[in-house]
Every structure is written in C-alpha cells, then in structure tokens.
Amino acid sequence: MLTLYHAPLSRSSRILTLLDELGALDKVDVKVVTIRRQDGSGGRDPNNPHPEGKVPYLVHDGVGIRESNAIMQYLCEMFPKAGLAPQPGDATRGAFLAWMAWYGNVMEPVLVMNAVGVENPLLAKTFGGTDEMTGQIETALSKKPYLLGDTFTAADLIVVSAYLWMPQITPDIPVIRDWIERCGARASLRRTQQRDTATMAA
C-alpha cells in the first residue's frame, strides 16, 4: 500500500503532478497534513510520520521515503509504463539520475542561498551561483526541448518546479523561458493546482 503525505501548494504538489502523469493517482492514498509555512502559519502535523515533519513523504508498506527526488525516482520505477523516466538498462538513465540528484544537491541550495542573500566563497565554490546553475540548464536545452531529449520526464518536472513556484527567478534566456512555458502548459499541473486550491478552500 502506498500513502503520500501531502500539503497543498508545497513541494509535495509536484508528487501529485507526477502521480497524475504516471496515471497512478488512484493507486496512492493521499493524506493531507499541515506543515510549518514560510509565513509563520501552519504547524507540524502529529499525523505526519515524516521524521522532520515535512512533505512530501511517501510510505510503501510501512517503509518511509523522504526527499522529493527520491520519491519521484521511486514512483517512476513503480509505474514505468508511463515513460516518465528511463529505466535501468537505458543509456539515458544515468543522465536522468544525475539531473534528479543535481536538483537536490545543487539547484535547491543555490536558490535558497540566493533567496536569503547569502554570499560566501566556500559556498560559491561548492555549489556555484545562479549563473552557473542556469548555464547548466541552458546548455542542456540548447540541444533539445527537454532536459533528457525529446520527451518530458520527471527530471523536467522537478527542475522546472522551482521556476513555476518562483516565476520571478526566470532568467531572460529564450530556451529556458520556452521550456518553462512548455512544461508549465501540461494539463497535469493545471489539475494539481485545481486540486490544491480546492483542498485549501475546504
């Protein structure tokens, strides 16, 4: 049995979008929980088993999985037919795994440091800055419409989520702007937005 602990309009929303893309929304029990929000509202939910009280959190037959990129990879392996990720044996799988890890290991730290205005030579050396970050994305998209090639994958979904969440950070780079528009137009994203808005209003 699969259970997803979700808070509307948060990092777990992209897991709902992925489940929609995978055609697997009906295979997962989605439990809505509260979280501490950036604006000081909300609070840790005693019903959320995530060890840090965060979302997303996926539980499969009693085993908990945290971190969005790990959860997405896991679900893509459980529901491979939708083609949202290259599977083991496919030569492009390495590139897929690299983008998923890069999102968590590089992109999120760079975005958070940028958002709070932290400048530090060691951090800059370790993670690079926003120019290097966007440079990586631009290079990939200058050759193809999506990060891995001709088709949308979970790597696009997680990397683009930062720009969809914070449109103000969108760089003035045509290939990146076009890709954000392409990814953002997906019906799955619109449905997640509608679901989350309805949940918030309930």
Ligand X SMILES: N[C@@H](CCC(=O)N[C@@H](CS)C(=O)NCC(=O)O)C(=O)O
Q: Which stretch binds ligand X (CB under 6 A): 48-56, 73-81, 85-93, 117-125?
A: 48-56
Could you tell me how many residues make up the chain?
202
Cβ–Cβ under 8 Å, residues 153 and 146: yes
Residue nearest to ligand X (CB): 54
For position 158 contacting ligand X by CB under 6 A, the verdict is: no
Of 112, 129, 116, 158, nearest to 14 (Cα)? 158
Q: Binder to ligand X among 2, 31, 49, 53 (CB under 6 A)?
A: 53
Q: Binder to ligand X among 2, 30, 34, 36 (CB under 6 A)?
A: 36
For position 109 contacting ligand X by CB under 6 A, the verdict is: no
Report the nearest approach of ligand X to the CB of residue 174 (Å).
Answer: 29
Q: Binder to ligand X among 4, 6, 11, 146 (CB under 6 A)?
A: 11
For position 14 contacting ligand X by CB under 6 A, the verdict is: no
Cβ–Cβ under 8 Å, residues 3 and 174: no
Q: Binder to ligand X among 4, 25, 55, 176 (CB under 6 A)?
A: 55
For position 68 contacting ligand X by CB under 6 A, the verdict is: yes
For position 49 contacting ligand X by CB under 6 A, the verdict is: no
DSSP three-state, residue 57: strand
Residue with tokens 């997680």: 158
- Number of residues binding to ligand X, judged by CB under 6 A: 11
Strands (E), the chain: 2-6, 28-32, 57-60, 63-66
DSSP three-state, residue 7: coil
For position 35 contacting ligand X by CB under 6 A, the verdict is: yes
Query: Residue 146's beta-bridge partner residues?
Result: 149
For position 19 contacting ligand X by CB under 6 A, the verdict is: no
Report the nearest approach of ligand X to the CB of residue 168 (Å).
Answer: 17
For position 8 contacting ligand X by CB under 6 A, the verdict is: no
The C-alpha atoms of residue 130 and residue 36 are separated, in whole angstroms, by 27
For position 138 contacting ligand X by CB under 6 A, the verdict is: no
Query: Residue 5's beta-bridge partner residues?
Result: 31, 57
Cβ–Cβ under 8 Å, residues 4 and 15: yes
Residues that bind ligand X (CB under 6 A): 10-11, 35-36, 44, 53-56, 67-68
